[in-house]
Amino acid sequence: MSDSLILALDQGTTSSRAILFDRCGAIRHMAQRDFRQIFPQPGWVEHDPRDIWESQLAAARAVIAEAADAPTPAAARAATSGELARATGKGLTAEAPKIAAVGITNQRETTLVWDRRTGEPIYNAIVWQDRRTAEYCDALRAAGHAAMIREKTGLVLDAYFSATKLRWILDSVPGARARAEAGELCFGTVDTWLLWKLTEPQHPSAGAAVLSVEARKHGAPAAATRFITDVSNASRTLLFNIHTLDWDEELLALFSIPRACLPGLRGNSEVYGHTAAGLFPGPPIPIAGMAGDQHAALFGQMCLRPGMMKNTYGTGCFLMMNTGGVPVTSRNQLLTTVAWRLGSEVTYALEGSVFVAGAAIQWLRDGLRLIESAPEVNALAASVEDSGGVVFVPALTGLGAPHWDGHARGTLLGLTRGTSAAHIARATLEGIACQVCDIVRAMQADAGTVCAELRVDGGASASDLLMQIQSDLLGLKILRPQTRETTAFGAAYLAGLAVGHWSSVSEIQTQWHIDREFSPQLPREAAARLTQTWARAVDRAKAWAAGA
Ligand SMILES: Nc1ncnc2c1ncn2[C@@H]1O[C@H](COP(=O)(O)OP(=O)(O)O)[C@@H](O)[C@H]1O
Ligand SMILES: O=P(O)(O)OC[C@H](O)CO
């Protein structure tokens, strides 16, 4: 077991990644495949489910092939002493790597529907960022349903979540509703789609002989047992009751969703099935971990005690705090969500989602052309002492938590003739950090605790300047781990724990190491002034697109 690896599949909004971790938690191999973003109308965002699957499969096959070509540490040691060459007569080229388990983690809320018999999607995946159902959400809110929805699901009524997207597909694709009611269609988030595809028998690449031997050994899984989601992904659909941990009849009726199209519900660390024979070289691999990406990141950051929190700085920002075995109801417009279920033990979390974070830096690059690459923002912003009074509210697609204003728009204030590109770059980093501050404050008020530190990951956490600004504004320590692939880490750990690759959570806790710690350096009064100015700017950004 010591030489075997865990394969984490991290299916994100813009790319699919596959990472092989060894038993010490070190990354051995990594592959990434970007895939197509589809924007059929303003505010609509779709993915082709086949692109999601094919990019994920290609990334997984690439890391496995890379690992097969690379010597294992044991083989390398043996080769150094000449033993391997003597024993095998063929040097270092090894056969398929031993993979103990696969863990899946994924972009959440994104909604797919496919034919239960053929596996063919009936429509593109509607992505979490898609706003086509915003008006329907407004109507439900006006009809007074928001409080019941929040009480049962822990979520706010917003187009971000899956239920209204699923309803849209059932009502818009001819015949879909009747087929869903007849049990002919499957609804899934990306985890469910990947599990379905990974366990799909008779892949074209599978040799007939291999298939029959392996199928006899493992049995071809029935559709019902391959059609599964986990409680973390389910808790982002608006259809799942976080108290009963089951689909909720009242919510299904409200959104007109037939129960027959919903997947079975499982925990986050258990064997859900095996990869189909022939999909990867070697024997079928148990698929043993599954969690939404932010939940996996909370686990991978080892935020295992109540009060511990992490923030992921990617396209958006997703801040989560572990609240232990009790769902904390937010009084400050945050989300209550299932963090994970291990065996019968459920852990809950509070979450705040910022829609635009790293994407604001991309806008400086692609929209304003102030920089040529995202990392360049740091030198530009560091070339000035402060933002020169410029404030940027990066509400380019509205404001998420805790404001939830889909009509807010990006707002650049305080411009003078002395304003330079550097001031705007600095204001962008401050704007990202200020959005995170709003969430941390709301979270600490809800949870009644003041956590002394924030663990960070995601692409933009590479920016030392952004992390320092964040620490200054929050007045908290920022801890950046050595491995920032914490989402994939979390999925790998969940899978590895289920198959005994790691013996316990205490064993994996020793694998989390700090790369750098950032401590507040700005006087608190100066930080308070900046956040007060930010609050005034947010007020001006709100409701902008709603008209006069
Ligand atoms: N060195 C850097 N400094 C600041 N921002 C960065 C840096 N590197 C990447 N980014 C930002 O991080 C984001 C990508 O992070 P990533 O975690 O890969 O996002 P996602 O998973 O949402 O696709 C981009 O929006 C980019 O602007
Ligand atoms: O694809 P990511 O990593 O930006 O994550 C997307 C989130 O899960 C959406 O809620």
325-342: average pLDDT: 93
Whether pLDDT at 529 is above 90:
yes
- Could you tell me the residue range of the domain that residue 154 belongs to? 5-284
d(CA 154, CA 108): 15
Whether pLDDT at 209 is above 50:
no
pTM: 0.89
Distance between Cα 394 and ligand 2 center (Å): 18
Q: How confident is the model at residue 83 (pLDDT cuts 50, 70, 90)?
A: very low
| One domain for residues 111 and 238 | yes
Whether the ω angle into residue 402 lies within 30 degrees of 0, i.e. cis, is yes
Q: How confident is the model at residue 450 (pLDDT cuts 50, 70, 90)?
A: confident
Identify the domain boundary among 284, 313, 328.
284
| One domain for residues 344 and 229 | no
493 occurs within a structural domain = yes
Q: How confident is the model at residue 71 (pLDDT cuts 50, 70, 90)?
A: low
Number of structural domains, the chain?
Answer: 2
| One domain for residues 99 and 245 | yes
Distance between Cα 107 and ligand 2 center (Å): 4
Distance between Cα 120 and ligand 2 center (Å): 24
Task: Please give the pLDDT value at position 446.
Answer: 86
> Up-side HSE of residue 22: CA atoms within 13 Å toward CB?
12
**Residue 61, annotated ligand binder?**
no
What is the enclosing helix (H) or strand (E) of 296?
helix 293-300
Task: Please give the pLDDT value at position 548.
Answer: 53
Rounded percentage of the chain residues whose pLDDT exceeds 70: 91
Q: How confident is the model at residue 208 (pLDDT cuts 50, 70, 90)?
A: very low
542 occurs within a structural domain = yes
410 occurs within a structural domain = yes
142-193 tens-digit pLDDT: 999 999 999 999 999 999 899 999 999 999 999 999 999 999 999 999 999 9
Q: Is the minimum distance from the CB of 490 to ligand 1 under 6 angstroms?
A: no
Q: Whose CA is nearest to atom 18 of ligand 1?
A: 459
| One domain for residues 272 and 305 | no
295 occurs within a structural domain = no
Q: How confident is the model at residue 206 (pLDDT cuts 50, 70, 90)?
A: very low
275 occurs within a structural domain = yes
Q: Is the minimum distance from the CB of 423 to ligand 2 under 6 angstroms?
A: no
Can you read off the two tokens belonging to residue 297? 């990141």
Task: Please give the pLDDT value at position 88.
Answer: 40
Distance between Cα 56 and ligand 2 center (Å): 15
Q: How confident is the model at residue 89 (pLDDT cuts 50, 70, 90)?
A: very low
412-426: average pLDDT: 97
41-65: average pLDDT: 95
Whether pLDDT at 531 is above 60:
yes
- Looking up tokens 């690059």 gives 365
256-298 tens-digit pLDDT: 999 999 999 999 999 999 999 999 999 999 999 999 999 999 9
Q: How confident is the model at residue 77 (pLDDT cuts 50, 70, 90)?
A: low
- Nearest ligand to the CA atom of 463: 1
291 occurs within a structural domain = no
- Atom index in ligand 2 nearest the CA of residue 236 equals 10
170 occurs within a structural domain = yes
| One domain for residues 264 and 305 | no
Tell me the pLDDT of the chain averaged across its residues.
90
Q: Is the minimum distance from the CB of 294 to ligand 2 under 6 angstroms?
A: yes
Per-residue DSSP letter, 121: B
CATH number at residue 213: 3.30.420.40
| One domain for residues 386 and 522 | yes
Per-residue DSSP letter, 499: T
Q: Kindly tell me the burial class for residue 143, based on how many C-beta atoms sit within 10 Å of its own C-beta (0-12, 13-18, 19 or more).
A: exposed
Indicate the range of 211-220, 471-480, 507-516 predicted with least confidence: 211-220
476-489: average pLDDT: 93
**Residue 225, annotated ligand binder?**
no
| One domain for residues 266 and 150 | yes
Closest CA to 107 of 314, 272, 417, 400: 314
Q: Is the minimum distance from the CB of 485 to ligand 2 under 6 angstroms?
A: no
Q: Is the minimum distance from the CB of 378 to ligand 1 under 6 angstroms?
A: yes
d(CA 179, CA 441): 46
Per-residue DSSP letter, 405: B
- Which has more confidence, 215 or 237? 237
Best residue among 52, 106, 107, 397 to mutate for probing ligand 2, ranked by most atoms within 8 Å of CB:
107
Whether pLDDT at 75 is above 80:
no
Can you read off the two tokens belonging to residue 493? 């750990």
Task: Please give the pLDDT value at position 281.
Answer: 92
Can you read off the two tokens belonging to residue 237? 């659909």
Distances (CA, A) of 303 to 323, 377, 477, 491, 528: 10, 30, 15, 14, 28
For 388-539, strand residue ranges (E) read: 391-393, 411-413, 453-457, 477-481, 514-518
Indicate the range of 161-170, 214-223, 241-250, 335-344 predicted with least confidence: 214-223
| One domain for residues 115 and 262 | yes
| One domain for residues 267 and 358 | no
DSSP 353-399: EES-SHHHHHHHHHTS-S-SSTTHHHHHHHTSSS-TT-EEE--BTBB
Indicate the range of 103-112, 201-210, 447-456 predicted with least confidence: 201-210
**Residue 496, annotated ligand binder?**
no
Task: Please give the pLDDT value at position 545.
Answer: 84
Closest CA to 255 of 115, 338, 349, 153: 153
| One domain for residues 270 and 306 | no
d(CA 127, CA 122): 15
Task: Please give the pLDDT value at position 85.
Answer: 42
- Atom index in ligand 2 nearest the CA of residue 106 equals 8
| One domain for residues 76 and 162 | yes
493-528 tens-digit pLDDT: 999 999 999 988 888 888 899 999 999 999 999 999
d(CA 272, CA 545): 45
71-83: average pLDDT: 54
Identify the domain boundary among 249, 284, 319.
284
Whether pLDDT at 370 is above 60:
yes
Task: Please give the pLDDT value at position 204.
Answer: 52
Task: Please give the pLDDT value at position 210.
Answer: 40
Task: Please give the pLDDT value at position 74.
Answer: 58
| One domain for residues 93 and 227 | yes
Could you tell me the strand order of the sheet in which 514-518 lies? 335-342, 345-354, 317-324, 309-313, 453-457, 477-481, 514-518
Indicate the range of 53-67, 210-224, 226-240 predicted with least confidence: 210-224
Whether pLDDT at 375 is above 60:
yes
173 occurs within a structural domain = yes
Identify the domain boundary among 223, 251, 284.
284
Whether pLDDT at 26 is above 80:
yes
